[in-house]
Amino acid sequence: MSSRILLVSGVLALAAIGTVIVLASAPEAAQTPRIAANTTPTRPVATPPSPAPATPDQPFVIKRILPIKGPIKYGEWHWDESGVPDGPLVITVDLDARVLSVFRNGYEIGATAVLLGDQDKPTPTGVFPITEKDIDHVSNIYTGAPMPYMQRLTNDGVSLHGSKVEKGYASHGCVGIPNPFAAKLFAITRLGDKVYITRGKQVGLGDDLVGS
């Protein structure tokens, strides 16, 4: 099981030194027909959580990974929260795998392939609290482009939002997710929940993802 689990590499270093990640600049994204990397989304996993923005990160143990066979294809998504207890919500985005995962209380409840920024306007790495939610958001930068289930991550417009996720497309820095998945995610998040965006490395079930 551990061989297919990925952990965002930048997160552990951040937790160890307790510093604030400097966010890369990237404007609000709209779906744009650009040639994306010929990379099939693969399984990610991981990240340290925080029960509340004002409290320090706490040890976070991976207790379950969704039993997904093979790589997640563009447009594909999985969701199963049956029997999962309440607890801290953590969202991870692995830029190498091109996959977003949702964890509650250490249990993975959702995973989907995502649309990311391109080389000109890349999706930034870092730890981002959700600062705004708008179910029917329309871009004020890109000529009224619809961004349903928008959850803002940066002041310069990077967000999670519903999108048509297909190979060959890219965003202007946002993380685009399939609309049905975006609706489910929007329904369970709260302002202040953290999104970890970075690049992964392998870890195992039962590992603490935040340590001293």
pTM for this predicted structure:
0.69
Give the pLDDT confidence score for residue 154 in this predicted structure.
Answer: 93
* SS3 at position 25: coil
For the domain with range 2-19+28-202, which CATH number is right: 3.40.50.150, 3.90.960.10, 1.10.3720.10, 2.40.440.10? 2.40.440.10
Residues of the chain with pLDDT under 50: 1-38, 44-56, 201-204, 209-212
Distance CA 92, CA 95 (A): 10
Buried b (16+ CB within 10 A) or exposed e, 81-98: eeebeeebbbbbbbbbbb
How many of the other CB atoms lie within 10 Å of CB of 145?
18
Segment 58-67, tens digit of pLDDT:
667 889 999 9
Query: Which pLDDT does position 169 carry in this prediction?
Result: 72
